[in-house]
Amino acid sequence: MASEPAMPQPAAPQRSTPQRSTPLLAIEQLTVGFETATGTVHALDDVSFAIGRGECVALVGESGSGKSITGLAVMRLLGRRALVQAGRIVFDGADLLTLSEKAMQATRGKRVAMIFQNAKASLNPIKTVGDILVDILRSHHHGLSRAAARARIVALLDRIGINEPAERLRAYPSELSGGMCQRIMIAAAFACEPDLIIADEPTSALDVTTQQLVMDLLMTLCRERGVAAIFITHDLALASEYCDRAVVLHAGQVLEQGPVSEVLTSPRHPYTRMLLDSLPYGKDDIGQLKAMGGGLPDLRRNDLPCCRFAERCPQVEPACRGLPLPERRFGPTHIVRCQHPLEPSLAAAPRASAARAM
Amino acid sequence: MRSDALAFIVRRNVITTVAAVLIVLLVVIAIVGPALVPYDPLATSATEVLMPPSARHWFGTDGLGRDIFSRVIVAARLDIAIAVSAVALSAVVGVSIGAVSGYVGGALDRVLSRVVDVMMAFPLFVAAMALVAVFGNSVKSIVLATAIINLPFYFRLIRAEIMARRSIGYVEAAVITGNSATNVIFRFLVPNSLPPVIVQVSLNLGWAILNASGLAFIGLGVAPPTPEWGIMIQEGAALMLSGEWWVVVFPGLALVLSVFCFSLLGDGIRDVIDPRRRS
Amino acid sequence: MRHKGLRILLARIATTIPILFGVVVVTFALIRSLPGDPAVYYASGPGAGPAEIEAVRRQLGLDRSLVEQFWRYLVELGSGRFGNSLQTGQPVLADFAQRLPATLELAILAFAMGVGTAIPLGILAAVKRDGWIDQLCRVLSSTAAAMPGFFFGLILIYFFYFLAGVAPEPIGRLPGWALPPPVVTGFMTIDCLLAGDVELFWAALGKMILPAASMAIFAIAPLLRMMRGGMIDALDSDYVTASRAFGLSRTRVLLGYALPNALLPVLATMGMVLSTMIGANIMIEKLFAWPGIGAYAINALIGLDYAPVQAFVLIVAVLFVLMTLAIDLISSAVDPRYGQG
């Protein structure tokens, strides 16, 4: 239960420590805005984090904190209203933001795949699942015949334990369950053998038993094949159970990042603390459960404080509003961006994953 | 509360407000216009045939020397009266039947729904033609025909609303506390189902004007020399070949403008009442 | 899957049968309630004397019970007898057969013009949302929705016939000097080509442009709005984002994924569009003196010649029901979710 917070400790000991010198993906100072009728939404502000090969990083935060936007920004699918104001997204040595559309298209699916929250809605409703998967496969393997693509997909579905794969492929998305659709999306994602998978709340729309099944499938495939993953979630328990590191986003700012064993056990940022306090896991009685104070600030405001958490923070002081976020290190990969990080408080910190097992 | 809502609507949509103001203007014209026009809309003049627009005759004169401006203004009353009475009739009857059918259900509902299906099987304008043929060639027939062909839309709309609401808490509470079926339908269910009906009514008015003028154009309902936009266009049709455009264009513009305003208002009301379907 | 499709097909056809029956009942009631004596318009012509009318009355069974009369009406319809027109003195069905091709030729061109304008514009408006094309489309669809085709047609006549002189005289299907080609299909343009007269083909086509454009204006507003809305919904959908995320090209996603889905709501409004087009057909044929069934029916109605009117109502309603059925079947073939709530 009690782990040394200062020691970087991968959650999955069987895997090698990621080489920090050459990350697979490095997001550097990414700032993104959206033009709307009522003003510019300052969606992402100076977001930086990196992922090593084969590493699994959880991107956590409330709804609207910019998790999905970060994912879509990597895919360069933010839509026409989005404006990348600053930053780089370096994937395998190349800045994705400066890539030609053609090269980007070859990267999507083939090198970076993304799966979404609502799998059923992510599948074209008027095509059979098989046709959709064949389309995906063939868009990356030119010259692959439809029959060959189909055979490959059937084999893949079979391998990941989907019963009667040929039968499933003849179905339309509306005829399958949400869990089945998500497993098929996962298969589609791995079919092109990417280096990185971005999973945007892949299980949030599913019921709890299916959730477990789908997460196990996703993470087993990642580990087996050495595929790195960005796991976007608001579920801290899932994050700590399956991921190596966590990146905590709030209102488009990264406030804390580091190994899950540290960040989600002995958080150094008041916001992370607040997130953990609002969870039911490991609490003896309801009195210990605290509701999240306040809400996300309106990101259209032009007078946002430097630390966008300032207005909800119990420890706020003038510096938080006026000074740029500092970067404080509490270990090789544990970075906190706060004027007044918390002292480590081991005793009070419940481990979400431990509680989950109860 | 009410003025708040109004302010919200105005702020939200300038175009809708402009349309609403124009419609008010149109209604005022329809009411007081005939008393104010410079000429008798029926008075012919052998010396002033087909005069182009001038200071004397703002919109010119037609083939019988009648003042087109006066005729366009006077026609507004007839066209708007036809549209309003037809849509009102249609909405009241359609809502009543549809509400009862949806609430009572069973055999009555099945029969009425079948009847409505059959009504919908006739293309609107053809059905209107046939009904005018049955009722005889008069303004009253146009109103009746327009009302009848619109019934199915109100019937289906309110029926769906009622069926969706029948088992909602406040309705069941009303039933349990001993309200009569009539009470439940018309005091609880219908008032709560009205917003989509209001949208339908506002969108319907412009369409009803088009329909009535279309019937008049092909020679049904309104007989010459009555001033009516559709019939004025019809009377001027042949003159377009020889270039006397004003006979057709002014009643045509009046028609287009009023339909345009009604549909803008309809869209605006829909946006306010049902923001999900904002266009 | 296949047998399920067949079951849906049969179910849809089955729901159409009572509606068709209802349509026949309504037209039967229409005849009984029209002013005048049905025996008169089932008689051979305007010259028919009282004796003949009396004979027709007995022959039609107008002295029998309503049920029996209805049965006879069905038999009459079954054998293709719709009565005679007072104005032409011919059997109504023969008059129809003669005029229907003219109507169809015009309607098909009008429909093609409407769809050909509205669909691409709707797609462009959605893809370039809030751009100048989108603004233009908004103005176009609002104006078209308020514009009666007969007024639009007259404006076209003024500009293209009177002012510019590029359009032919807006009356009929052929120029006054021309001898019509031998009737093969009844479609003037095709008959001209079959007769090898290319010059006349262009003349016939030229005659169709203005009336077809006037008819098309009725279809443009609903189609354009639905296409734009459908395309916007499709482009904003999760499956479009997901397909792009899997590396499918923009064009492929646009045409292969978004467009087919966006066409579904367009298909769903097609019934309404067809209904409007049929009404438009009557007004436009009247305006351009086009010798089709719409003008024929309205002239009969004005002339209190009711046999063609009831036949027109019946035939058009049956056609409309069948077209609605076709739309329904296409929708359920394309969309697996169709009709499942």
- Check whether A2 has a pLDDT greater than 60: no
Between B278 and C288, where is the model more confident? C288
Of C239, C244, C260, the CB nearest to A123: C239
Tell me how far CA of residue A232 lies from CA of A31, A58, A169, B49, B51, in angstroms: 18, 6, 28, 79, 76
- Check whether A282 has a pLDDT greater than 70: no
Chain A residues with beta carbon closer than 8 angstroms to that of C248: 109, 135-136, 139
Among the listed residues A28, A3, A25, A24, the one whose alpha carbon sits nearest the alpha carbon of residue A13? A3
Of C245, C249, C261, the CB nearest to A77: C245
Contact between C89 and C45 under an 8 Å Cβ cutoff? The reply is yes
**Interface contact C239-A174, CB threshold 8 A:** no
- Check whether A348 has a pLDDT greater than 50: no
Average pLDDT over residues A253-257: 92
Question: Which residue is associated with the tokens 């970060």?
Answer: A70
* Domain residue ranges of chain A, discontinuous segments joined by +: 25-234, 249-354
> What is the predicted pLDDT for the residue at A198?
94
> What is the predicted pLDDT for the residue at B67?
85
**Interface contact C246-A188, CB threshold 8 A:** yes
ipTM metric: 0.86
Contact between A244 and A17 under an 8 Å Cβ cutoff? The reply is no
**Which chains have 3 or more CB–CB distances shorter than 8 Å to chain A?**
C
Nearest Cα of chain C lies from the Cα of A175 at a distance, in angstroms, of 9
Question: Which residue is associated with the tokens 């734009």?
Answer: C228
**Interface contact A108-C245, CB threshold 8 A:** yes
**Interface contact C148-B118, CB threshold 8 A:** no
> What is the rounded average pLDDT for all residues in chain B?
84
Contact between B27 and B80 under an 8 Å Cβ cutoff? The reply is yes
- Check whether A15 has a pLDDT greater than 60: no
> What is the predicted pLDDT for the residue at A9?
41
Binned at pLDDT 50, 70 and 90, residue B183 comes out as confident
Cα–Cα distance between C12 and C132 in angstroms, integer?
Answer: 43
pLDDT in tens, A23-39: 899 999 999 999 887 78
Amino acid letter for position A204: S
Domains and CATH numbers, chain C: 92-334 (1.10.3720.10)
- For A104, residues 6+ apart whose C-beta sits below 8 A from its C-beta are A76, A96
Among A303-317, B4-18, B204-218, the range scoring the smallest mean pLDDT is B4-18
**Percent of chain A predicted with pLDDT > 70:** 88
- Check whether A350 has a pLDDT greater than 70: no
Domains and CATH numbers, chain B: 3-45+57-250+271-278 (1.10.3720)
- Check whether A1 has a pLDDT greater than 80: no
Between B75 and B169, where is the model more confident? B75
Of B121, B130, B252, the CB nearest to C22: B121
> Which of A320-329, B26-35, C98-107 is modeled with the greatest confidence?
C98-107
Pairing of strands A196-200, A228-233: parallel
Are chains B and A in touch, 3+ Cβ pairs below 8 Å?
Answer: no
Neighbours of C274 (CB within 10 A): 20
Average pLDDT over residues B222-245: 87
Nearest Cα of chain B lies from the Cα of C195 at a distance, in angstroms, of 32
> What is the rounded average pLDDT for all residues in chain A?
84
Contact between B247 and B50 under an 8 Å Cβ cutoff? The reply is yes
> What is the predicted pLDDT for the residue at A209?
84
Average pLDDT over residues B32-59: 79
For helices B229-236 and B246-273, what crossing angle results, to 10°?
150
> What is the predicted pLDDT for the residue at A249?
92
Task: Determine contact: C317 vs chain B, CB below 8 A.
Answer: yes
If you write DSSP's letter for every residue of chain B in order, what string do you get?
A: -HHHHHHHHHHH-HHHHHHHHHHHHHHHHHHHHHHH-SS-TT---TTSTTPPS-SSSTT-B-TT--BHHHHHHHHHHHHHHHHHHHHHHHHHHHHHHHHHHHHH-HHHHHHHHHHHHHHHTS-HHHHHHHHHHHH-SSHHHHHHHHHHHHHHHHHHHHHHHHHHHTTSHHHHHHHHTT--HHHIIIIIIHHHHHHHHHHHHHHHHHHHHHHHHHHHHTT-S--TTS--HHHHHHHHGGGGGGT-THHHHHHHHHHHHHHHHHHHHHHHHHHHH-GGG--
Binned at pLDDT 50, 70 and 90, residue A284 comes out as low
A329: three-class secondary structure by DSSP: strand
Chain B residues with beta carbon closer than 8 angstroms to that of C316: 122-123, 126
Between A219 and A22, where is the model more confident? A219
pLDDT in tens, B71-109: 888 888 888 999 999 999 999 999 999 988 888 888 999
Binned at pLDDT 50, 70 and 90, residue B8 comes out as low
Average pLDDT over residues B156-166: 85
> What is the predicted pLDDT for the residue at B195?
83
**Percent of chain B predicted with pLDDT > 90:** 20
Enter the pTM of the model: 0.84
Chain C residues with beta carbon closer than 8 angstroms to that of A185: 242
Nearest Cα of chain B lies from the Cα of C247 at a distance, in angstroms, of 31
All residue ranges of chain C with pLDDT < 50 are: 1, 341
Of A77, A80, A185, the CB nearest to C244: A77
**Percent of chain B predicted with pLDDT > 70:** 93
> What is the predicted pLDDT for the residue at A283?
67
> What is the predicted pLDDT for the residue at C340?
63
CATH assignment, A25-234? 3.40.50.300
Chain B residue at shortest CA distance from C301: B133
For helices C132-146 and C198-235, what crossing angle results, to 10°?
110
Average pLDDT over residues A286-315: 81
